[in-house]
Homo-oligomer: A and B are copies of this chain.
Amino acid sequence: MGKQNIPDVIIRRLPIYLRVLEGLYEDSPGDVVSSFELGEKSGVTPAQVRKDLSAIGAVGKPGLGYNIEALRDKLKNILNLDKEIRVGIIGVGNLGHAVARYIIQRYRTERDYHLKLVALFDSNPEIVGQCINGIAIDDMKGFSGKASELGFRMVILAVPAEEAQTVINQCSTAGIEAVLNFAPIHLRAPRGIRIHDTDLSVDLMHLAYYL
């Protein structure tokens, strides 16, 4: 495959381009888009758009722009979104619950992003056994088994900060490769796992600076 070493800054912008392209595709499939328009709608300079697209091997036509559909497909390919991606959620409290419903809602009716929520886990006996939109909440004890059985390699972590590191280690053992961490703590990534920390409070505090 033609995936060279693309720097992470670029990878981070690709989903944003993709989001814009999906919108454009709905309005005018078969059309083209310029780096100016794509940049405008993505919050990025045109030059940067071109640099990014060039880095992933996408080509446009001088004088015209980039073919929307082709570019979209290219991005989906790079981001592995042309195959089904199964995701599990660990921790079904306030946040985990909301995220679950959000994902189900967003990817049920919408385009075929192949992002599929397949399992929910919690360690609280009062929650285990409940259902969210037909997906049962499993006990965390059976995590490793379920992970290989259902074949998901990506996890959303929404447990309390104190438990997060322990859970990450379990994930590692179970062969999980990517984790989106909502727990308010920086996790040390075990070998072979990619972690992306995200914390609402951190974002709010960041913004607070600019008040």
Contact = CB atoms under 8 A, between A and B. Distances in A.
B154 A19 contact: no
A91 B102 CA distance: 14
A43 interface: yes
B81 A205 contact: yes
Q: In the assembly, how many copies of this chain are there?
A: 2
A201 to B, nearest CB: 7
A180 B207 contact: yes
Given A95-B102, A105-B94, A154 B206 contact: no
B98 A205 contact: no
Contact of A94 (B20, B102, B156): B102
Interface string A78-103: 11110001010000001101110111
Contact of A154 (B18, B87, B98, B208): B208
Contacts of A185: 19
Given A184-B19, A198-B198, A204-B87, A209 B80 contact: yes
